[in-house]
Copies of this chain bind each other. A is one copy, B any other.
Amino acid sequence: MAAKKVNEDLQRERSKCSFDVEELTNFLDWGPQYTKRRRTLEQKVLSVKGLLDDIPEEYLSHKEKYENAVRKAVLLYRTLQKVDNSNISDEEKTRANFRNMISSAVFRDGTPFTLHFSMFTPTIMGQATEEQKAYWLKRANNMEIIGTYAQTELGHGTFIRGLETRATYDLETEEFILHSPTLSSYKWWPGGLAHTSNYCVVMARLFIRGKSYGIQPFMVQIRDEKTHMPLPGIKLGEIGAKLGFNNVNNGFLGFENHRIPRDRMLMKNAQVLKDGTFIAATNSKLTYGTMVYVRVLIVNNMANLLARAVTIVVRYSAVRRQSQPKPNEPEPQILDYITQQHKLFITIATSHAFYINAMWLWEIYFSVNKDLAAGKLENLPELHAIACCLKPICTSDTTMLIERCRLACGGHGYMLASNLPQMYGLATAACTYEGENTVLLLQAARALVKAWSVRAEGKPLKGTMAYLAGTTTLQKWDSSVDSIVKSFQVVAIRKVSGAVETLKDYQKSGLSQEDAWNKASVYLTAASEAHGRAILLSVYKSEMDKRTASLSPSLKKVLHQLVELYVIYWALEKVSDLLLYTSITEKDITELQRRYIDLLEKIRPNAVGLVDAFDFRDEILNSALGAYDGRAYERLMEEAMKSPLNVEPVNETFHKYLKPFMLGKL
């Protein structure tokens, strides 16, 4: 973090900070040992030559981006292998890496190896037999093969039962025949599939003797290991340029009666015997665990994205001066404008809220996972419902807030050199992948409607749904943080009951159950959102109370200001719900509004300290606007000078087109 000359405004901000920045960094890292580990890793990796780009990715052609990304991906993997040789458990390693964003320094727009680590290897672990694991996991872990995971098809997304790719068992040869019967059945989207991977887990509909046995996973070699040529009967290519993730090499895959041996079906759960006997999986809910795991990681990733974005924007807002409200005074730092604080400080608080929720979810995930190993499945549906609410809320809030941060930088936020547009691209993609947000909210709604009938039967509800058994009216409104948090539970209860009511009304009017569900779906998604918000708020508040107990008073104070800000912000955002379902009055609202503005003023002196505490190295921020030294304009110019268009003073199109055009000859 050493810098030659730090911008004076930033320096002054830092001198005003009322708490120990390092203490907050350790808190966010989940302990000082993790801060130390992360920094050591960053220092070692980021000093390796060739990992950071001389010419920013955005100046390259689509093809060059991919080629550059492969070069860097290989180098990054080998580097990490060398330097990250600590002997800690997988669980601790995952947690230790919660705030490891090294790859953001290397790639602004993803890497072609992502799916190998995030989906290919985990699928082998979760779905392969011990024997299969012994072979495939070793090869995958050693990177002797590069794999990906192919589920979605050109015509089929979140709805897995709709997949068309066929795997027909041939009893005579004991092989599966993979086939894509239509264009819409082509696999479409998997990262690394286009030109990078030579193996792939393919989800396909199993047929034995003409009968369908559902969607099953198959390990398929797609390219020759020596020549990398697609194997016969396999059609491969890339799907084209996207809003983001352009280094990821997303591909398509079609089969023309391609045969694979029987043992390539991953048979930990369901099995096909040599004679074509099908043995079903004992429990279909076991795969929920992985889904929840991925969604915890998404919540944590969103916290990281928000933290990076707001670091950039707060520092820039401390450096940028604009307008002149008072004659004869200099232009103020834009961070002094309340409208700017309104855009930024909630982003800091949201990042904290998501970090804390991710930590909490992680611990629940671990305890449920232990239950699973012991054969206890009863807590899975509730956990699944939380994940189905939190993933959509966290991804869409993050998308909205990053965009707000970007717009708060004015025109310069539109520059790719700010790295904010790219972060937006990464965030908004998360609204679609791993379960489309609206679809997930509707899934969560099923669990909530079910919970409501449990309540109606007078039975108890458990865990995060326990509150749904509570009162439907809040006693007297009281503007304390705890009371507001409670009021969000009342709102959720009322939204759930309202959705159930609507559902019933539509059914009574003669609609089928399915049509009534569809017609009520706007209410149902609203109920899920309310449930998710209630959880987010209450976990943020209660976990913060618990986890900050041993912190210094000065830090504790600031962290609780952010909790209060977050809670009041959402109370004001959802004030219509509070007006409908609690006894809040116009006067209470006015008071909350004033308190919100006062909180912005209280947080203002610590704003730079708060983002410094996220402790992102300049390489990881990867932004001309947000570097530690605050030299935003100098860096913008330095980045501009890297544009290949700036190498020559006159572009050749002048002679070819513009000159003859201006002379009237073209």
Contacts of A633 in B (CB 8 A): 154-155, 183-184
Chain B residue with the shortest CB-CB distance to A321: B155
Contacts of A657 in B (CB 8 A): 70-71, 74
Kindly state whether residue A279 has any CB partner on chain B within 8 Å: no
**CB–CB B144/A666 < 8 A:** no
Contacts of A210 in B (CB 8 A): none
Contacts of A74 in B (CB 8 A): 657-658, 661, 666
Kindly state whether residue A336 has any CB partner on chain B within 8 Å: yes
Which of B413, B646, B662 has a CB less than 8 Å from the CB of A146?
B662
- Flag A630-645 by CB within 8 Å of B: 1 or 0 each: 0001101101111111
Binds B, one of A14-22, A237-245, A352-360: A237-245
**CB–CB A639/B326 < 8 A:** no
Contacts of A410 in B (CB 8 A): 157-158, 432, 436
Kindly state whether residue A323 has any CB partner on chain B within 8 Å: yes
In the bound complex, how far is the Cα of B238 from the Cα of A643, in angstroms? 8
Contacts of A56 in B (CB 8 A): 240-241
Interface residues of A in 597-646 (CB under 8 A from B): 597, 601, 633-634, 636-637, 639-646
**CB–CB A416/B649 < 8 A:** no
Kindly state whether residue A131 has any CB partner on chain B within 8 Å: no
Kindly state whether residue A551 has any CB partner on chain B within 8 Å: no
Kindly state whether residue A325 has any CB partner on chain B within 8 Å: yes
Say how many copies of this protein the assembly contains: 2
Kindly state whether residue A342 has any CB partner on chain B within 8 Å: yes
**CB–CB A415/B240 < 8 A:** yes
The 6 A-B residue pairs whose C-beta atoms are closest, nearest first, are A576-B576, A61-B61, A58-B241, A243-B421, A70-B653, A325-B514
Chain A interface (Cβ within 8 Å of chain B)? 56, 58-64, 66-67, 70-71, 74, 77-78, 142-146, 152, 154-159, 161-162, 183-184, 186, 188-189, 194-196, 198, 225-230, 236-244, 249, 252, 320-326, 331, 336-339, 342, 403, 407, 410-411, 413-417, 421, 424, 428-429, 431-433, 436-439, 442, 512, 514, 517-523, 525, 575-576, 579-580, 586, 589, 593, 597, 601, 633-634, 636-637, 639-646, 649-654, 656-659, 661-664, 666
